[in-house]
Amino acid sequence: MLDTPHPTPEAPTLDPFVLAKALSGQHFIGGRYVPARSGKTFPVVNPATGQEVATAADGDAADVDAAVEDAARAQKEWAKTAARKRGALVAQCAAVIRLHVEELGRLIALETGKALRTESRVEANTVADILEFFGGLGGELKGETVPFAPEVLSMTVREPLGVVGAIIPWNVPMLLMALKIAPALVAGNSVVVKSAEEAPLAVLRICELMNRVLPAGVFNMVSGFGPECGAPLVSHPKVRKVTFTGSVETGKIVYRTAAEKLIPVTLELGGKSPMIVFEDCDFDKTLAGALTSMRFTRQGQSCTAASRIYVERPIFQRFVDAMAEKVDKMVMGDPLDEKTDIGTIISDDQFNKVKTFIDEGKATTGAEGRACSAMPDDPALKKGLFIQPHIFTGLTKESRLVREEIFGPVTCIFPFDDPEEVLAEANDSEYGLAASLWTNNLKVGLNLAHKLEAGLVQINQNLVVQANLSYGGVKSSGLGKEASLEAMLEHFTHKKTIMINMA
C-alpha cells in the first residue's frame, strides 16, 4: 500500500497545473515517489503555451537498476498471489482510475495538448476499461492436459516471465501503458515502465493511484530519455520481457538488444494506414468516418491514422470537397476548453517535422494541400504548437508524404478505378498496422479485407484499439499482439510442461 511522504493530492484534483507541479521531479519505485539518483530533472512543457508546467526526474541506468531490483523482489510474492486475486486487484485499480478520470484527462491534456473533450477524457476512461477487462481474465491463465501416454500425466501450466520492461510513447501514453501493464500484472509479472520524455506526468499519477491498491514494487515507473533511461531498461539482465510502442527505428534498437539477451519482445511500431472508399458507400457516414479515421482530434498523432485515403473515382472530388468542408468546422484551440475539437502537436521537434512534410507537399508540382480549420486567435495561445489539418491531393505514390509516417494532421487522397488496383496501392507500404474499407458490397469488402496486409481491417468503421480484440501490425508495424486474452497468454507468460510418470 502507498507509503509516500510526497505532497501529491490524495483526492482527485481538477487543477492540472497544481497537480503537474506536485508530480514534478519524481520516479515511482518500490511504492514511493523518489527523485533521480543524479538529482537531475528535465522540463515538462505545455505545448499550447510553450510554458514549463513541471519537471520530470531525468532517469539513468542507476534509477533503472533500482526500479528493476525492486520489481524483481516484488514479483516473487506477486507470482504466488492467486491469479484471480491478482485480477481482482487490477480491477480494483480500474475503480480508482474511474474516480480520477476528470483529473487524468485534464493532466494529459495539459502535457500533451490533446483536447479534453474529444481525446483526453476519453483516453482516461479507456484506461479504466482496459484494466477492468484484464482484471477479469485471471482465471484464464489455464494450462492443458496432454494425451502423451496412459501412465503419464502430462500437463502445461502458464507461468509469468518475471520483470517486464515497458517503454511507451507520448501520443496516447495512458492507454498504451494500460495495454501493457494490465495483462503483464494479471499474469503475475512485475513491471517497470519508462515513460515518454514528452508526457511523463499522467502516467506517473496512474502509477501512484494503482500503487494504492497493488503491493509495493509490482508496478514501478522511471522517466527519462531513450538512450539514457530506456536503453538500460531493455539491457538490464533481470528484465525478462520488453514491450515497446514507438518508432520503427527505436523498435529495431530494442529488438537487437533483446536478441542479445534472448528475451521476447512485443513491438508496436508505426503505420501508414489506408482508408479505401467505394462509390457505393454510405457517403455521410464515410465522411464522418474519414475524420475519425484520420484521428484529426488527436492532430493525426496516431499509428492507425488514415493517412492515405483512396476514393473510387466517381465520388473522388465530391469526397475531397466535403471532407475539407467538414474539417473546416472543427474547432482548434485550448486543449482544456470544452469547445475545442483539435489541440496541439506535442513538441517543437514534431511540429517542425510535420511542417517540413507539409512544405514539401505544397512545393510538389501538381499537388494541392488544403489547410482546413481556423488557427486559434486567443493571444494566450500564440506560442502554441497548432498546425492546421491538411488534405493533399495530386501527390504521386513516391512522395515522402505518402510513404512515410507523418504523425501529424496530414492526409493524402487519391482516386482509384478498381479493387485490384487499390489493393496493390494499399499494400505498397513498408507498414501493415491497420486499414479500413467503406462499402455496402460486403463481397468486395470481405475479399479485400482478406488480402490487405494489415493487423486490423475494419469495414464501415475505423475504431481505435479496443479491449478484447487483438491489436498489432505486420511488416514494419511490429511484432506481437496487444489488448486481448491471447496477448496476455502469448506475450506475458510462458508455457511449462510438467509430466508425471505414474507407472
- 61 near ligand ADP, judged by CB under 6 A: no
Distance, CA of 24 to CA of 287 (rounded, Å): 42
Binding part of the chain for ligand ADP, among 162-170, 385-393, 413-421, 423-431 by CB under 6 A, reads 162-170
- The nearest distance, CB 165 to ligand ADP, in angstroms, is 9
SS (H, E, C) 335-369: CCCCCCCECCCCCHHHHHHHHHHHHHHHCCCCCEE
SS (H, E, C) 368-402: EEEECCCCCCCHHHCCCCCCCCEEEECCCCCCHHH
- 222 near ligand ADP, judged by CB under 6 A: no
DSSP label at 229?
Answer: I
> Given CA atoms 344, 308, 276, 433 in this order, what sign does their dihedral have?
negative
- The nearest distance, CB 180 to ligand ADP, in angstroms, is 12
Among 59, 246, 271, 455, binds ligand ADP (CB under 6 A): 246
- 234 near ligand ADP, judged by CB under 6 A: yes
Among 253, 331, 446, 474, binds ligand ADP (CB under 6 A): 253
Which residue type does 280 have? D
- 167 near ligand ADP, judged by CB under 6 A: yes
- The nearest distance, CB 14 to ligand ADP, in angstroms, is 28
Q: Which CB, 304 or 373, lies closer to ligand ADP? A: 304
End-to-end CA distance of the chain: give it in Å, rounded: 49
Site string for ligand ADP, 168-187 (x = CB under 6 A): xx------------------
Among 113, 135, 138, 226, binds ligand ADP (CB under 6 A): 226
- 160 near ligand ADP, judged by CB under 6 A: no
Q: Which residue is nearest to ligand ADP (CB)?
A: 226
Q: Which CB, 178 or 381, lies closer to ligand ADP? A: 178
- The nearest distance, CB 226 to ligand ADP, in angstroms, is 2
Among 60, 70, 197, 208, binds ligand ADP (CB under 6 A): 197
- 59 near ligand ADP, judged by CB under 6 A: no
Distance, CA of 259 to CA of 256 (rounded, Å): 5
Strands 163-167 and 239-245: parallel
- The nearest distance, CB 396 to ligand ADP, in angstroms, is 26
The site for ligand ADP, by CB under 6 A, has a size of 17
Residue spans of alpha helices (H) in 23-82 = 61-80
Q: Which CB, 120 or 195, lies closer to ligand ADP? A: 195
Binding part of the chain for ligand ADP, among 150-158, 180-188, 219-227, 308-316 by CB under 6 A, reads 219-227
Binding part of the chain for ligand ADP, among 38-46, 130-138, 227-235, 427-435 by CB under 6 A, reads 227-235
- 252 near ligand ADP, judged by CB under 6 A: no
- 38 near ligand ADP, judged by CB under 6 A: no
- Which residues does 117 contact at the CB level (< 8 Å), separation at least 6? 338, 339, 340, 341
Site string for ligand ADP, 254-273 (x = CB under 6 A): x-------------------
- Residues 316, 318, 319, CA angle at the centre, nearest 5°? 65
Among 32, 106, 180, 194, binds ligand ADP (CB under 6 A): 194
For 502, the grid coordinates are 505414474
Among 7, 227, 237, 314, binds ligand ADP (CB under 6 A): 227
- The nearest distance, CB 327 to ligand ADP, in angstroms, is 24
- 452 near ligand ADP, judged by CB under 6 A: no
Distance, CA of 203 to CA of 182 (rounded, Å): 13
Q: Are 31 and 6 in contact (CB under 8 A)?
A: no
Q: Does 268 participate in catalysis according to the annotation? A: yes
Q: Which CB, 141 or 201, lies closer to ligand ADP? A: 201
Q: Are 295 and 406 in contact (CB under 8 A)?
A: no
In Å, how far from its chain's centre is CA 311? 28
From 123, 268, 312, 405, the catalytic residue: 268
Please report where in the chains the cell 475531397 appears, as a residue.
320
- 247 near ligand ADP, judged by CB under 6 A: yes
Q: Which CB, 194 or 390, lies closer to ligand ADP? A: 194
Strands 265-268 and 478-479: antiparallel
- 300 near ligand ADP, judged by CB under 6 A: no
Max Cα distance, the chain (Å): 84
Closest CA to 306 of 412, 417, 169: 412
- The nearest distance, CB 216 to ligand ADP, in angstroms, is 24
Q: Which CB, 53 or 269, lies closer to ligand ADP? A: 269
Q: How many CA atoms lie within 13 A of 348 on its CB side?
A: 6
CA distances to 269, 270, 406, 420, 453 from 474, in Å: 10, 10, 19, 21, 7
Distance, CA of 482 to CA of 9 (rounded, Å): 32
- 235 near ligand ADP, judged by CB under 6 A: no
**Which stretches of the chain bind ligand ADP, using CB under 6 A?**
167-169, 194, 196-197, 225-227, 230-231, 234, 246-247, 250, 253-254
Residues tagged active-site: 268
